Structure 1
């Protein structure tokens, strides 16, 4: 099951623009049993994700595993990433990462530390240049479903290694709101508690305490899983809308399903005129 909103962010901190009808879920080829969902960096100057994934699909050899396909996509994307016009920014991010952090009020500043402008650029590049992908489905003839996460990180410095996903669900892009809803605590809040000086336990102690209160649920049938994915994305969109946070999540919700007896199928898919009809006007 792959689900995503449709908001894509262009530009960096201080110069961001949001488009609400972008494509984040892609079928890998036609009549395919693989799909890709993406988050983070919205595209590359050397080619859109649509084009890069189409070329990737053209080169896929029959009979390979999902893991092999994930490795090929990781390599293909990294080659495009390093050939694009953002690669110099990634190199600059790597240079800034080797320096010490900017400390407000430090006089004199620590040797080889970032100044205020460098700190702002580092944070913008460190977060804004990350591209994430999840590729999942099955390959014939075994029909065994699997999925892998691929994170292209400017600080990684080399082609990303796909990580397998175990049974369950995962959220990327803007996961903090669902983490708060399901676990009652997101990673940022946990980090603040641990660094507050008022928590006497360990990191594992806090994780155990939070886990005891999560809204856990058993495995569910396919249609309930679709409802769960849609509900989580919808909740995130609404929480973003009624917050002071950047509106990085919004637009139509898209969901695709790949089952072991069928290939890639759209559950919800926006039409090509969705931006024209925004607001419900025909």
Structure 2
């Protein structure tokens, strides 16, 4: 059998649509395993990338990039983190969130501490893989907040700190993983536009100026902050479906695909699944009474 890389990389699409009434999370389910030469060995279409980070609280998460740390999947690790934040891990009772007194910023710090300091450094020590990149999007409401937030918690060898992508006053769509289809749709320019200009001899500062100017003129206004949450859900679904089909008909491996999972987080309803896959039949696995 050809050598298999010890890391798996979901070439994925994860989407958020933030409006006044809440924030929508959506993702595909593809996960790709690569040979050491960089070629795709196998693609599975049942990876979990969308999570309710703390059940009962208005906090969700999306993951992209590396699908695991060491031998543990991000899905399993996220559930371990959920136990800590829910106060169910006896060794980390101080991690339990107070439903009436927490901020998304403090949760983002805990996410980084868990994945980078506890898991990444433990798995790789002083010799981390230079190309490791795991993206983690934290979405939802701080306790008592009127509007949601979107935080980026990158896990890399550099130990980057969390940063806010959309604060309570900012609305719009964000996407990560596979950029090309959405870059063209929203900005009117593909992700290789800058490279094409650089290859024609234009200086980097001029290339960036041209890109930003054209993107501003060509951008498609698809979001109104006051749009209903159902329309935000449909837009998020459209963005994921479009990316899946773009990759499918492109001359490349279908590294985006599988079932689409969607969740919405609103102030009064909290985290609600809109579309979800399960590996078990719910009628055969009733909840414990």
Give TM-score, length-normalised by structure 1. Answer: 0.76
RMSD of the TM alignment (CA)?
A: 2.3
Q: CA deviation at 1:147?
A: 1.6
Provide the residue aligned with 2:58 in structure 1: 33
2:191 maps to which of 180, 187, 212: 187
Q: Is the 8 A contact 1:253 1:268 kept in 2?
A: yes
Partner of 2:25: 2
Question: Once the two structures are superposed, what CA deviation does each residue of 1:99-122 show, in whole Å capped at 9, x if it has no partner?
Answer: xxxxxxxxxxxxxxxxxxxxxxxx
For the pair 1:60 / 2:96, whether they are aligned, the reply is yes
Partner SS, residue 174 of structure 2: coil
The structure 1 residue matched to 2:253, chosen from 242, 246, 250, is 246
Instruction: Quote the offset at 1:202 in angstroms.
Output: 4.4
The question of 1:82 aligning with 2:98 is answered no
Q: 1:263 to 1:241 in 2, by over 3 A?
A: same
Q: Does structure 2 conserve the Cα–Cα contact (< 8 Å) formed by 1:24 and 1:38?
A: yes
Residues 38-58 of structure 1: per-residue CA shift (max 9 Å, x gap) = 001011235332332233232
Q: Which residue of 2 aligns with 1:204?
A: 209
Unaligned runs of at least 5 residues, structure 1: 94-125, 275-282
Larger Rg: 1
Q: Number of matched residues?
A: 235
> Match for 2:237 among 206, 224, 230?
230
Deviation at 1:198, TM superposition (A): 6.3
Q: Structure 2: give runs of 5+ residues left out of the alignment.
A: 1-23, 85-94, 282-289
Cα offset, 1:199, TM superposition:
8.4
Kindly indicate which of the two structures has a greater share of residues assigned to strand.
2
